[in-house]
A and B are shown apart, each in its own frame.
Chain A
Amino acid sequence: MKNMISPLKEKDIKALRAGDEVSLSGVILTARDQAHLRLCELVRKGKPFPVDIKGQVIYYCGPTPAGGSVIGACGPTTSSRMDEFTPELLELGLKGMIGKGKRSREVRESIRDEKAVYFVAPAGAGAYLSKRVRTCEVVAFEDLGPEAIYRLEVENFPLIVAIDSLGNDIYENI
């Protein structure tokens, strides 16, 4: 198990290999379907993002309401739905993604070309993961509710590297 801090350093990303287990702490940003759609629309219109994604890690997650805690259940959602938007964000400097499941060949190649990394988190364990989030605040698209962009400070998020910066993919043969 490798301990890592997010945002990730370039040399840390390069040292990761598909299959490595990582305990991630630090800052990550949530974004899922609608947030991705909006970000890519902003790119097309030539407008700035409401939050800087350069060097950041995006977590495909739409949590349940906090209900007095820091956050509710907050596991990963299916990554493949974000595939069509991902290469564009990687070209803009996104360095990491956390989700569940397979990615397309285009995404895998883009991760390799941009020297980024794709992690998978324990899926369907939203209550368990909620205990590893220290702070949670909305930073963009608040009107999207659970699909807004949240800034999370996480501690010891248990992850597995699914696609590394060389383009190795743990799901390639599935």
Chain B
Amino acid sequence: MKQRIVPADRIKDEVSKLLIKANTVLRPDVFKCIKILHANETSPRAKNMLKILIENAEIAKKEKIAICQDTGMACVFIDLGADVKVRGDLLNAVNAGVKEAYLKGNFRKSVVCDPILRKNTNTNTPAVIHVDIVKGDRIKISVMPKGFGSENKGKIFMLNPTVTRENIVDICVNAIKQAGPDACPPYVVGIGLGGTMERSAYLAKKALLGALGERNRKKHIALIEREIISRANGLKIGVMGLGGRSTVMDVKILEDATHIAGLPLAINFSCHALRSASEVI
């Protein structure tokens, strides 16, 4: 079968464009959710903060300023069709796109070359890149500039296979409680359930790409999502931890097969400024 050819430069351009968009234009589903929380919020102080967040998104979009000064570490998810060939170096192209976006967009360069030496690379590269081989001849690119205020609150647990659903909900609600006011609530909580240790962490991050308000297609998983949402909003942490009913905007679970001896559970937090953008080429 004839392979479709895509030049690596095309990937670079697309990554750059998507990162500029993600950092300056709030995702429509996130923006809509903040507006709904604003309309329903009863605490005057929380309502005022939500109004500031709406104004912030409008200023960022109009003036092409970053929504948040933490323009994050670039997480890039690539679904690479098995029938498409990238001419050139795919990974270099992604990093070139990140470098271009952070320079052009006046975004903060927040990446250091080494965890101990901590020298800033001044390009916001390298990105964290995940490549999945999928069917077809298309390439889907999703970018998520991930701020570390919320990233730092992430947790991973290697649970027993006999753990109850109630235990799972308790652990997740407790993690949200521990994140408290620090990581810019109302949160979107990504949860990876199953797989291996690193697979669950990957799924927790990837879950944040899903549309807010859409439940997991499996009923028993959707039920866990609903339970966590309901209990988390009962914590009354609220916007900036100042109380009120808006503690989480959504909780999204991605599940996977796992081993008879365990149940990995990873929790990845996003602040209210959940930023991502996708394109299929």
Contact = CB atoms under 8 A, between A and B. Distances in A.
B66 interface: yes
Interface residues of A, number: 38
Contacts of B6: none
Interface of B is mostly: loop
Contacts of A122: 49, 52-53, 56, 240
Interface stretch (B85-93, B102-110, B129-137, B254-262): B102-110
Interface in B238-278: 240-242, 271-273
A158 B52 CA distance: 10
Contact of A72 (B65, B237, B240, B242): B65
B181 A100 contact: yes
Interface of A: 21, 34, 61-67, 69, 72-75, 77-80, 100-102, 120, 122-128, 130-131, 145-146, 158, 160, 170-171, 174
Contacts of B180: 101-102, 171, 174
B245 to A, nearest CB: 15
Contacts, number: 128
Contacts of A75: 68-70
Contacts of B67: 73, 124, 126-127
Given A78-B149, A126-B56, A100 B110 contact: no
Given A63-B108, A160-B242, A126 B69 contact: yes
B108 A125 contact: no
Contacts of B94: none
Nearest to A146: B108
Contacts of B70: 62, 75, 77, 126
Interface in B53-71: 53, 55-57, 59-60, 63, 65-71
Contacts of A67: 65, 106
Contact of A174 (B52, B152, B237): B237
A174 B181 contact: yes
- 7 interchain residue pairs of minimum CB distance: A101-B182, A67-B106, A128-B56, A127-B60, A125-B56, A73-B66, A73-B69
Interface of A is mostly: loop
B241 A146 contact: no
B183 interface: yes
11 contacts: A62-B70, A67-B106, A75-B68, A102-B241, A124-B53, A124-B56, A124-B68, A126-B69, A128-B55, A146-B108, A146-B110
B184 interface: yes
Interface in B146-185: 149, 152, 180-184
B72 to A, nearest CB: 11
Contacts of A72: 65-66, 69, 106, 108
